[in-house]
Structure 1
């Protein structure tokens, strides 16, 4: 089912993707309506420049260029879906004295229009003009075309160039005022994620050498890499935007999709670890696995619908944010539900595995911060943040939330002897044993990560004291226990040859009767004692 949604999405993306002349915009407007929206741009208060070239047949005269700004009494009042308005009513909101209505004929000197006769005696108006926008603050301007007396509708060819800086100014010229700080932020996050990917790669190599490279850590690695790729695509899209004023929405959409994929993978990682997967259990119980699969499927489908809705239904006449849609609000609700599942799972995992509390308490705080901050900020961005700064603020904060989650998770799972929160104690070679044994029967015990020493063995039972001499069965002697000797002693550095000497009776010999019937041969009854040992005959004497 998910694969079908993905296929449909990419089909729509290919059909809808084309080069949109966003800051340099050109096209042909043909409509039977008397009023039509054309474009929008966020200009600075005193540096915004608008250049236009408009051509149209004299038969469609007189057409007007209308300039609305974003105050409630102008564009929001004009562009309403719940109220039908005539062309005259929409023009009535404008102030002619402020040059908000540009009459595209030679009679209006500020329009830059002149009448030209073509070779076939066809007369057209050609209008070229450069205007400077001056306002009290950066604000959105919306461009529309009207001809309220027309019976044929509107028909014209236009070219718009909207800038916010001098020629050659990469950081400001083609960018809308609300996008000024997007490119510097993307470059900064790109550099940080390059270093983060290197750090996670080093930790992965170290964990793999210790046989602690579990599937959950692989998910973390995948989430970080997907986030880096998403930032890379976005950075390339905005770089093209800054150089030429041309934006490829397909590249930007792919970057956003990769970042959403990174978010989905990280969410799955947190839910799996909250349930103890690869930390206190080798596999999930069937009911929990089914619920998690259904939830993640719904979350993925909602993420795909979010982009499909943007491509098909977002109105270019409104300054909308990606999450200002039913799918966006649905994702917010699903993320809140995921947070509830996360906390619930951690409570029961800690209840049955209290030894892991040093890891799960910090994880609970990290996960709660990551789960809650995203939805709260999205709701604030949709309603509280001004639209002329929202793009930059949203870009910075959402990338910071993602970076914070990745960095804090890396710190909690850092493979270091000093890290008391390190969660993994079962080797990847032991997972098969975990899957067939009960948790209380597992022979593995948590241990601190040791980067250069072998893992500690489970504690051995304490050695039993030898039985008193009079309680021993006949012929029993003390046994030498290999388990009581440290493992480090079982090593051979070189071979030592010991010369063989014949056994000879000596004065340093004591006679010890072993049992009632024994061999009386000298080799059996005499034992040579080295000079370095002392025999206490009174202590070792046997009572018969």
Structure 2
């Protein structure tokens, strides 16, 4: 039995993927270049989080001498500086310049009179330009966000060709990284290696389960989620590795990594809800109404994730340090996560009420994943209100990966194919699930039919069959013979047969 699917969602995913990959890249202030022409007299250019001792800005500016004289303004994240002037419609250009402290060397006059600007007059095709090439070091008591703006108060607009390289030290691991991104590459590489191990262990366990016809759809979903997680981390490492090399990176690779990360999360979430409803544990089918509800919910969740990525790429203000969940789509995802937990609770309680024999699996399963369901909303709230902005991205990245590792690690342990594992959920063979769903003499069958009596075979986790990984993701065809009865194997416990009290309700 395959899990519920959403045909409309499958048709939507290819164009949504193309849309996300075609989004224009956003300047993230490591290596930045551009050509600015504006009628405004004060314009934000970029931002960067510098270390307390090793921050460095190297620049090259050029603009027509007729547009002289323009200034580069360097604001930091003190409430009296950048927050006081940005998005303040009641403040004019002179007021925004007045918060700058000249004694801190926060103004670079792009003129030949200001020696530190490195400006000189050059002629090109009969037009005189001011060409400025120099640099500036940054010192502060802690890591700070610095914001770079261009101004010419009372003038006739701004025009500037600019190229900036913003760095933190000379190490490969820090040079092009903003201080709030330190450690992200190392963290992603570490978790990539851990998830590769988890994926191969899940494949090995899947091979053992396959040998005893216990490789159920929900376990295949777990393997798929782990594999997609590995791909996601691989693309994140490629992006950050390229970014560490050139300070630019490839935004399409990062968007693809985020899509895969979200896909892994969604597959795992669907697997948890299906297990909560007893699918492949206490029943072999999900009712039509339940399948429709799951399809609608997962489609809505997926679309919200896509909207969140589009919103982050298109509508997040680069002049502000924002977190992913600081958006309507982000709050919508938190609401959907809470709704999923309510559904999960209801499904598990119904399964336990009808099948108390499954307490050794469902009680630790429910306890462990209650923590997981609340981890994401709690992390979002802490990130929004409890973590300093100059350290938020690297901390949130580590916490988020840790949450995913916790979820996959717990499930891998709970489903390890060992006779000593009292929490093991699968005791009915895949061929018996298929046989249980064959139409009866009248040609009808129950869509959410629970496992009938005597379908539980004894579980042996040692198989002498020849490895065949090509059959790992297949389900044997239903047997034409009557359902086999459980027969004891010497030396291993016999799992008791379960007679369901009646069809389970769907929420």
> Mind listing any 5+ residue stretches in structure 2 that lack a counterpart?
1-7, 438-444, 466-483, 491-507
> Mind listing any 5+ residue stretches in structure 1 that lack a counterpart?
461-485, 488-544
State the SS of the aligned residue for 1:401. helix
Query: Offset of 1:19 from its aligned partner?
Result: 8.4
More deviation in 401-410 or 317-326? 317-326
More deviation in 120-129 or 243-252? 120-129
Match for residue 33 of structure 2 among 26, 32, 39: 26
Distance 1:331 1:439 in 2: 33
More deviation in 5-14 or 308-317? 5-14
Provide the alpha-carbon RMSD of the alignment: 2.3
What's 1:74 paired with?
A: 81
The alignment of Structure 1 onto Structure 2 pairs a total of residues equal to: 458
State the SS of the aligned residue for 2:22. helix
What's 2:98 paired with?
A: 92
State the SS of the aligned residue for 1:397. helix
Distance 1:446 1:75 in 2: 68
Query: Offset of 1:365 from its aligned partner?
Result: 1.4
What's 1:442 paired with?
A: 453
Query: Offset of 1:296 from its aligned partner?
Result: 1.2
State the SS of the aligned residue for 2:43. strand
Distance 2:65 2:271 in 1: 64
What's 1:164 paired with?
A: 168
What's 2:46 paired with?
A: 39
Contact 2:22 2:252 (8 Å CA) reproduced? no
Match for residue 55 of structure 1 among 41, 59, 62: 62
State the SS of the aligned residue for 1:124. strand
Contact 2:28 2:46 (8 Å CA) reproduced? no
Query: Offset of 1:13 from its aligned partner?
Result: 2.7
Contact 2:457 2:485 (8 Å CA) reproduced? no
- TM-score between the two structures when normalised by the length of structure 2: 0.86
Match for residue 186 of structure 2 among 165, 184, 187: 184
- The answer to whether 1:135 aligns with 2:140 is yes
What's 2:110 paired with?
A: 104
Distance 1:182 1:18 in 2: 20
- TM-score between the two structures when normalised by the length of structure 1: 0.80
Instruction: Identify if the C-alpha distance between structure 1 residues 440 and 134 changes in structure 2 by more than 3 Å, giving closer, same or farther.
Output: closer
Post-superposition CA distance 1:161-198 (Å, at most 9, x none): 111012xx111111110111101101100111111111
Distance 1:21 1:445 in 2: 58
Query: Offset of 1:71 from its aligned partner?
Result: 1.3
State the SS of the aligned residue for 1:417. coil
What's 1:321 paired with?
A: 323
What's 1:490 paired with?
A: none
Query: Offset of 1:53 from its aligned partner?
Result: 0.7
Query: Offset of 1:262 from its aligned partner?
Result: 0.3
- The answer to whether 1:115 aligns with 2:121 is yes
Query: Offset of 1:4 from its aligned partner?
Result: 5.7
Instruction: Identify if the C-alpha distance between structure 1 residues 111 and 459 changes in structure 2 by more than 3 Å, giving closer, same or farther.
Output: closer
Distance 2:22 2:221 in 1: 32
- The answer to whether 1:10 aligns with 2:17 is yes
- The answer to whether 1:154 aligns with 2:158 is yes
More deviation in 378-387 or 259-268? 378-387
Post-superposition CA distance 1:191-235 (Å, at most 9, x none): 111111110110111111111111111110110011111101111
Distance 2:376 2:450 in 1: 36
What's 1:415 paired with?
A: 417
Instruction: Identify if the C-alpha distance between structure 1 residues 4 and 145 changes in structure 2 by more than 3 Å, giving closer, same or farther.
Output: farther
